Amino acid sequence: MHEHGEHPLSTRAERDWGLYAAHRARLTDAIVEASRLTAAAAAKRPATLCVLGAGSCNDIDLERLAEAFAEIHLVDIDGTALARAVARQPEAVRPRLRRHAVDLSGLPARRLGRWKRVVPSGADVESAAAAALDAILTKLGGPYDVVASTCVLTQMAFALREALGERHPALETARFGLMRTHLSTLVGLTAPGGVALFASDAVSSTTYALEEPPPGQTMTDVLHAVVSSGRGYFAANPEIVAGLMAEVGTPELLDPWLWTGPLDRTYLVYALRLRLPIDAEG
């Protein structure tokens, strides 16, 4: 535990925190801006935030977010990482933070082990996804004025691929079910008049040469080129994600950005912002 408002970090944690700086600034800006678009802001009442995939909170600046939100709910499968992230925050920030150790994939290892041995039907996957969504929404309560998914969907998709195997017959079906579960969680936790923000890495420099666009082009053009090349992450395909989000509204693509993280790997990150109507159902 860290006492007297100290927030010491290990050498590795300090390095990771530094590597995430540019990405953290952009993502935090997007969340703060989302708070200004909510019904809560219009009514001048305290807003609430739920962060899906918060982990070690290197992606977000909790001190800045605490200035915009009365409560911040941090959700991740790694409860230890959440506890450490909260412990290193200033004493004035900690009371606003709530931790939720929840598996957002809704796919426990036992189920994936069973699916690896016996290929599930499409109905099996659909039923599991529906049950997972109900369980996640029940655990996390809400609704919240802003809900932000912070580059966690691709991590869950990689874990799914590793568990089932690259050539598993049901991988594509299961992956799409995971996408639908996560995006339904994102929207389902968002209050009417609130904002759902989906942020994701679209590709890394290991599979696509990433650099600042030439004059006359934008990062959005780069994102479209990645999608057209077929080398982006399937689970983070912005066209598919936007299509699923469009079932409840029209998502807005924010300006994508590049950031270089661990292993000197560069990522292309984008965010889709969806404002829910006041009369939206949870």
According to the model, what pLDDT value does residue 12 have? 59
In this prediction the pTM is 0.92
Decide if 43 is inside a domain: yes
According to the model, what pLDDT value does residue 1 have? 32
Whether cis (ω within 30° of 0) applies to the bond prior to 143 is yes
Q: Residue 68 phi/psi, 5° resolution?
A: -105, -20
- Is 10's pLDDT higher than 80? no
Decide if 280 is inside a domain: no
Per-residue burial over 220-259, b = 16 or more CB atoms within 10 Å of its CB, e = otherwise: eebbeebbeeeebbebbbbeebbebbeebeebeebebbbb
Q: Mapping DSSP to helix (H, G, I), strand (E, B) and coil, where does residue 94 land? A: helix
According to the model, what pLDDT value does residue 3 have? 32
Percent of the chain with pLDDT over 90: 86
Decide if 134 is inside a domain: yes
Q: How many domains are contained in the chain?
A: 1
Encode pLDDT of 159-178 as tens digits: 999 999 999 999 999 999 99
Q: Mapping DSSP to helix (H, G, I), strand (E, B) and coil, where does residue 17 land? A: helix
Decide if 3 is inside a domain: no
pLDDT band at 278 (very low <50, low <70, confident <90, very high): confident
Find the mean pLDDT for residues 195-200.
98
According to the model, what pLDDT value does residue 13 have? 57
- Is 14's pLDDT higher than 80? no
Decide if 264 is inside a domain: yes
According to the model, what pLDDT value does residue 214 have? 86
- Is 34's pLDDT higher than 60? yes
CATH code: domain of residue 192: 3.40.50.150
Decide if 82 is inside a domain: yes
Decide if 67 is inside a domain: yes
Find the mean pLDDT for residues 188-201.
97
pLDDT band at 261 (very low <50, low <70, confident <90, very high): confident
Look up the domain containing 255 and give its range: 11-275
| Residue 8 in tokens | 């010491």
According to the model, what pLDDT value does residue 7 have? 37
Find the mean pLDDT for residues 209-229.
93
Q: Residue 144 phi/psi, 5° resolution?
A: -120, 150
Encode pLDDT of 55-99 as tens digits: 999 999 999 999 999 999 999 999 999 999 999 999 999 999 999
Decide if 159 is inside a domain: yes
Encode pLDDT of 95-132 as tens digits: 999 999 999 999 999 999 999 999 999 999 999 999 99
Average of per-residue pLDDT values in the chain: 92
Which of the pair, 41 or 134, is modelled with greater confidence?
Answer: 134
